Structure formats: C-alpha cells, structure tokens
Amino acid sequence: MSASSLPATTPAATARPADRPSRALARMLSLDDFEAAARKRLPRPIFGYVAGAAEDNQSLRANRDAFGRYAFQPRVLVDVSRRSQHIELFGRRYESPFGIAPMGISALSAYRGDIVLARAAHEQGIPAILSGTALIALEDVIREAPGTWFQAYLPGDPARIDALVARAARAGYETLVLTVDIPVSANRENNVRTGFSTPLKPSLRLAWDGLTRPRWLAGTFLRTLLAHGMPHFENSFATRGAPIVSASVLRDFSARDHLNWQHVARIRAQWRGTLIIKGILHPQDARLAREHGADGIIVSNHGGRQLDGAIPPLRALPGVVAEAGAMPVMMDSGVRRGGDVLKALALGARFVFVGRPFNYAAAVGGQAGVAHAIGLLRAEVDRNMAMLGINRLDELDASLLAAA
C-alpha cells in the first residue's frame, strides 16, 4: 500500500489533547502508576492474567532489564524548537512512534475494553491492534475505530485460515498481524496461582474477588452480562467462538503447531492489505518473512508470556534489522517510558507497541484513562527528544546510545 494511496492526515487521525483528566487520573504520572491502581481495581484472577507471564518470569524481567543496558549519549546546544514525533508507516501518518499492542480478553478488564482501547488510539492518532482472542467482534471494533489493525491466531487448517482472513477483509481491516510465537499454549503457572483459568471456572474464590471489587463487578462484569450476555471469544475463527466458561475453549486454541511458512505464503496470496508477522526473534526468520512477502515484522517475545528465557526483543533488534532489508521492523515487550521508545528506535525499530499499561489504564479510567496514558508517553518522548538534541525521529541512531 503506497503512501500516495492514502491521505497523510485525516481529522480523526490527528492527535488532540485529551480532556482534562479526573482527579484520579491526575495522580497517574507514569505508565507504572496505572498498574498499581489496576491491582486495586481488578479481581485478583483478572489482574494476574494481565500481569503474569510464563513459568519463572525470566523473560518478563529481562524485557525491562534490557533497556537499562543502554545509556543515552545526548548532543547539546542544538536548536530543538521544531520537534515532531510523527511518523509515516505503511502509507499512513501516525502522531507518535508507538501504538497499542494486542491483548486478549481486554473486555474483562474494562467495559467494552477492546473498543475503549481502539477508540482512544484512533482519536489520538496512533494504531491499536485488536487481539484474535478478543471478546468483542472484530466488525464492532473497526466500526468504532477505523484504521484498527487485526491480529490473528491461526491454526494450521487452510479452510479456517481462508475464512478468517476473508472475514477480516470484509470487515474493512487493511492491516493483518499474524502472530507466530504460540504453536502451543504456554506454561502460565501464574494464572493458576491467581485463580485464572481458560475456560473461566466459577468458584467461591472468583465470586469473593468480584464482590470485593464492586466497581469492577457492577461497571464491567454485570454491565457486560446485562447488555451483551456471556462473553464469547469472537475472533478466533470466521464464526463466533465459545463462551469464556465453555470447556470447548481449549479445543478452539489447539492445532496451532501445524502453522508454517507455507501458510504464510497462502495468506500473502489472499491478503491484499498490509501483512505483518509478529513474534520474530531470530534474524533468519526476519529474512524468511521478507522472502515470503511480509510488509513488516514485530520483534516480540509475547511480553514474556510464551517461551520463558527467550531473548528480550530489544537485544534481538540489531540482528533482526540487519536481515530485514527495507522491510519495517517494529518491536514490543517491556516498553514503559518514552526513553524506552527512543532506545528501540535508535537500535533500528521503526515503531513500538505497548500492551499491559494501556490495559491497566482502561481498567482504571476507561477511554479517558487510555487517552491520559497515551498523553503521558507522548510527553516523555517529546521531552527526551529535546534533551537528546533531535527534532525528528529519523535523526535517531545508535550513536546516541552507549553501553550502560
């Protein structure tokens, strides 16, 4: 998709200041503040599902630690009065170099959570990626937030692949994100310890957690049941999936171990929009993605939620970028500050995605919370650009970093 085929800006895609935050949101000064607030707001199993990772959390911790391995080496006495953090990506202009990563079952964290995230991103001029394990139909989300990207978890079943790809195209999605790092379900012991399970099993513990979080119980769970019925996995296949309390959920998430590069070639032949491969960590896989016609890749270890001990994406970036050629390389996992965004861009990423903090922001403040979180991260990027001595993101490179 060429840049000339789409307008550089539209009214909906232009960043605008969020409304003045409420008193509660005004106390949120960084993305990490939302996590502490969400812990108090959400039932323990729901918070544990979002916050947890796989096995011993080695990758979860390493994702954050990786940013500390680099220090900035700024330039001074540079006129930085013309700063702009907008970026052109796949023929569209975005107002900041970060977006919202796909997160499953967000509608259990906030009422209509997937729509809340996508609409906030759309209004603030950044992309959001709708998860294939969302509890809101992909058609409903893009109707509320045009330009949203769709992330698919695909089984190695050609008929089901074809049907889901066709459904996304009919709905109006232009960007398909194929997540490839989940051939089998991860060992998420943390979920078990906090009482979360798939399927979600009613229990006294779960009931107690809900009763002790009345704002979540009334404002999210009961409101959803009354207005929309029992949540279902809506976007795993071309047809509606199982409800979150159904034992067949486990069957729906199996058979992904068959997925291979031949399936990518098949999808590329059908999908006329932008195709992105998410979950790349090895340079050779970046080369294969390019050879199979991908338009871009996202370097990711799934936020530490799949293979525990996998290399942090920030460390994998230079090698992946070297094999990607002209194909845009993006990154997620562990980004929490504007400085993190700029470090990733200096190491070769064109764009980054942030997950958990925006989920927490939705839980704490709904769409206003997400907009506030976007504003905080955007302001950090702007300040750090000034202090680094740059006006444009394309001035970033590894010369502005040093080993910490």
> From the CB of residue 318, how many other CB atoms can be counted at a distance below 10 Å?
13
Angle between helices 58-67 and 338-346 (to 10 degrees): 80
pLDDT at residue 20, rounded to an integer: 61
319 is known to lie in a ligand binding site? no
| 75 carries a ligand binding annotation | no
- For the ranges 241-245, 251-255, 313-317, 396-400, the lowest mean pLDDT is seen at 251-255
Query: In the predicted model, is pLDDT for residue 107 greater than 60?
Result: yes
Q: Give the span between the Cα atoms of 25 and 36, in whole angstroms.
A: 13
> pLDDT tens for residues 314-343?
999 999 999 999 999 999 999 999 999 999
Joined tokens for residue 251: 């069957």
The answer to whether 404 and 69 have CB atoms below 8 angstroms apart is yes
Lowest model confidence (mean pLDDT) among 23-32, 221-230, 245-254: 245-254
CA distance 167 to 189: 34
CA distance 213 to 209: 6
Residue 43 has pLDDT above 50, yes or no: yes
- Maximum Cα–Cα distance for the chain, whole Å? 63
Q: What count of Cα atoms within 13 Å lies in the side-chain half-sphere of residue 186?
A: 24
In the predicted model, is pLDDT for residue 253 greater than 80?
no
What global pTM score does this model have? 0.92
* Distance in angstroms (rounded) separating the CA atoms of residues 371 and 367: 6
**Region 66-93 average pLDDT:** 97
* Residue among 369, 333, 306 at smallest CA distance from 18: 369
C-alpha to C-alpha distances, 276 to 87, 129, 149, 293, nearest whole angstrom? 18, 11, 10, 9
Evaluate whether 208 touches 176 at the Cβ level (below 8 Å). Answer: no
Q: Binding residue per annotation — 302? A: yes
Does residue 302 carry a catalytic annotation?
yes
CA gap 237, 216 in Å, rounded: 29
Q: Which residue has the higher pLDDT, 13 or 266?
A: 266
Q: Determine whether the annotation assigns residue 334 to a binding site.
A: yes
330 is in an annotated binding site: no
Strand partners, 151: 177
According to the model, what pLDDT value does residue 185 have?
A: 83
Q: Is the pLDDT of residue 16 over 90?
A: no
- In contact, 114 and 134? CB cutoff 8 Å: yes
356 is in an annotated binding site: yes
State the angle between helix axes of 58-67 and 313-324 in degrees (0 to 180), rounded to the nearest 10.
Answer: 70
246 against 13, higher pLDDT: 246
pLDDT tens digits along 139-187: 999 999 999 999 998 877 888 899 999 999 999 999 999 999 988 888 8
Average pLDDT of the chain?
Answer: 91
Please, how many CA atoms are within 13 Å of residue 228, restricted to the half-sphere of its CB? 17
Give the ranges where 179-306 is alpha helix by DSSP (H).
189-194, 204-211, 214-216, 223-228, 249-252, 261-270, 283-291
From first CA to last CA, the distance across the chain in angstroms is 40
For residues 345 and 341, what is the distance between their CA atoms, to the nearest angstrom? 6
Q: Domain 23-189+250-403 falls in which CATH fold? A: TIM Barrel (3.20.20)
Of these residues, 122, 232, 302, 372, which one is catalytic? 302
Distance between CA atoms of residues 398 and 17, nearest Å: 31
**What is the C-alpha to C-alpha distance for residues 358 and 106, in angstroms, rounded to an integer?**
10
Name the E strands within 57-128: 70-72, 87-89, 92-94, 98-100
Give the integer Cα–Cα distance in Å for 109 and 169. 28
Of 44-53, 199-208, 240-249, the one with minimum mean pLDDT is 240-249
The reply, when asked if residue 68 is annotated as ligand binding, is: no
Residue with token string 């050629």: 325
Asked if 301 contacts 59 with a C-beta cutoff of 8 angstroms, the reply is yes
- pLDDT tens per residue, range 346-382: 999 999 999 999 999 999 999 999 999 999 999 999 9
Summarize the confidence of residues 120-128 as an average pLDDT.
Answer: 98
Helix (H, G, I), strand (E, B) or coil at 352: strand
Whether 118 and 139 have beta carbons less than 8 Å apart is answered as no
Domain ranges in the chain? Answer: 23-189+250-403
The whole-angstrom separation of Cα 56 and Cα 105 is 23
Residue 300 assigned to a binding site: yes
Residues in the chain, total: 404
- Give the pLDDT confidence of 197-241 residue by residue, as tens digits: 776 777 777 788 888 999 999 999 999 999 999 999 899 888 887
CA atoms within 13 A on the CB side of 201: 13
397 is in an annotated binding site: no
Q: What does the pLDDT average to over 253-263?
A: 79
101 against 7, higher pLDDT: 101
Q: What is the pLDDT of residue 11?
A: 35
153 in a labelled binding site: yes
Task: Tell me what pLDDT residue 248 has.
Answer: 60
